[in-house]
Amino acid sequence: MIRRNATREVKIGNLTIGNGHPIAVQSMCATPTTDVAATLEQLLALREAGADIIRVAADNKKDAAALIALRRQLEEAAADTVISVDLQENYRLAEMLAPHVDKIRYNPGHLYHHERARPWRDKVAYLADLAARHDCALRVGVNAGSVDPERLAAGHGGDSVAPMVISALQHSECLDRLGFTRYCVSLKDSDPRKVIDACRRFAEARPEVPQHLGVTEAGMPPEGIEKTRIAFEQLISRGIGDTIRVSLTVRNDQKHREISAGRQIIEDIHAGRVRSVVRFNDDRLNLISCPSCSRVENQAFVDLAQQVRERTRYARDHAITIAVMGCRVNGPGETDDADLGLWCGPHYVNLKRRGEKIGAFKYDQILDRLDRELRDLID
């Protein structure tokens, strides 16, 4: 149902992202990297939970040495684990780590912190050269909290997303000029709306570059999952996103929830179970329904969503969006952008047409009224 952007293939260890490959789900170890036993345990738990890529941070030489020891131990337990190192401030650690990892993430804003006199383009060339020589992919990981200071200084007329997008575009162009195309880009913010805006702008300019999606500092579940879901629904439904991470504030023994949440969000989007209005098709009937949660007051909602699908089949070739939402809390707002929106209460289903409420109807009456409004819209 979802058309994916025709992005480049990027090989990361034994995994490939981009060009229609399944969206890879990743997570990151939250243990101190120098605690090799604890990090190994978390890494294996994430692998067991189905993580496609696992990230480990390295901030200094002790971290780098621990990560190398970790990789050696994995050779016995799980040699095919795909590991990405998250370089913090010290980009030169890449020299120690490139032979031992599958992917290197660098933050363009952090490249300014060490060896300040050295131009950032030289540093990118250095990283690309190491990655190429050691069979690694790169991620240009732009983060709202640590944007390239030159871009921030430029102001961009108060457009808070522009510095992130321009930084990602500059680094992409720099890597391309170096002849290194085995990279993906991420643009993260704690505000899902800014993530949507940034990732869409970048995809418009560089649709062929694979994107890693994520909302940073999303928080604890369930709110953290919901924030992330909002961003992913709007991006993945537009074909954007080749790998994802759901960042959650959870205890170390609960980190596997990042993987299950990521897989659930992808599955829901593919099934049209979304909480915000998205457009899968510009030229056909677009039917969406929320995945339901504890706020549903009448389980008849699930049957109703199915019945709406059956009853509206005749309209399949019309560019109309129908949203069916499970509750009175989020339903009214989440149906605003739909042509026809329904949201369910304990005894009545509310109906809205292009933002205007038509009324509340009994469960056994709503389908007839929906049908009337739909035929009217088509006419």
What residues line the site for ligand SF4 (CB under 6 A)?
275, 290-293, 295-296, 325-327, 329-331, 334
The smaller minimum CB distance to ligand SF4, of residues 128 and 305, is found at: 305
Residue 242's identity, in one-letter code, is D
- The backbone torsions φ and ψ at residue 11, rounded to the nearest 5 degrees and listed phi first, read -90, 130
C-alpha dist (Å) from residue 34 to 67, 86, 91, 303: 8, 14, 18, 52
CB of 349 to ligand SF4, least distance (A): 13
CB of 100 to ligand SF4, least distance (A): 42
CB of 292 to ligand SF4, least distance (A): 5
CA distance 194 to 263: 23
The smaller minimum CB distance to ligand SF4, of residues 281 and 292, is found at: 292
The smaller minimum CB distance to ligand SF4, of residues 63 and 334, is found at: 334
The smaller minimum CB distance to ligand SF4, of residues 241 and 331, is found at: 331
The smaller minimum CB distance to ligand SF4, of residues 19 and 292, is found at: 292
CA distance 301 to 77: 46
CA distance 62 to 127: 20
Side-chain-side CA neighbours of 159 within 13 Å: the count stands at 13
CB of 68 to ligand SF4, least distance (A): 44
CB of 350 to ligand SF4, least distance (A): 12
Residue 58's identity, in one-letter code, is A
CB of 223 to ligand SF4, least distance (A): 12
CB of 323 to ligand SF4, least distance (A): 9
CB of 174 to ligand SF4, least distance (A): 42
The smaller minimum CB distance to ligand SF4, of residues 226 and 242, is found at: 226
CA distance 273 to 223: 18
The smaller minimum CB distance to ligand SF4, of residues 206 and 229, is found at: 229
The smaller minimum CB distance to ligand SF4, of residues 297 and 373, is found at: 297
